[in-house]
Structure formats: C-alpha cells, structure tokens
Amino acid sequence: MISRHWIITDAENVTQEVKGLGVVGEQPLLRPGESFEYTSGTAMATPVGTMRGSYQMVAEDGNKFDAEIPSFTLSMPRVLH
C-alpha cells in the first residue's frame, strides 16, 4: 500500500480531499490473504457525512493499481441510532 486518496463530504455538501503516503504513518506490505486494519478520523462541520476513495497499491510484480473504496457513511457516535 503506497498511498491513499479520500473524498470526504459533509451534510452541507462541503467536500475535502485528503491525499498522502501510506496510512497512519505506515506503508504496509500485504501478502496474498493478509489484511491490515487501522483507525483514523476526520473533522467535519456536520455530525453526518460520507467518505469514498482509494488506496494506491503496487503488486509484487511491480504493477500499480487502485483499490477503490465505495462511499460509506460517517457519523458522530449515537447520531444515527
């Protein structure tokens, strides 16, 4: 995992874009069948929003590809349920 690209949109349709190397200061090497988990956060002006993006990856053979992350809901704890 080389880098990340996130598009974060709040409930007022204000969008912020985040790009950078790795995630949480790491560029993990993932072998087939392995996974990597991390926790992160963002600041928004509204209690609910959405986030979508991609991870830029490099396979062992040197081929580059994007791992697309579909849109998902962001919310402050206990806001939606």
Alpha-carbon distance values, 49 to 12, 18, 28 (Å)? 8, 15, 28
Residue from 42, 6, 7, 44 nearest 22 by CA: 6
Residue 47 has what pLDDT? 94
CA 25 to chain centre: 13
pLDDT by residue, tens only, the chain of 81 residues: 999 999 999 999 999 999 999 999 899 998 889 999 998 888 899 999 999 999 999 998 999 999 999 999 999 888 776
Residue 36 has what pLDDT? 92
Residue 32 has what pLDDT? 85
Residue 16 has what pLDDT? 96
Which superfamily, per CATH, for 3-75?
A: ApaG domain (2.60.40.1470)
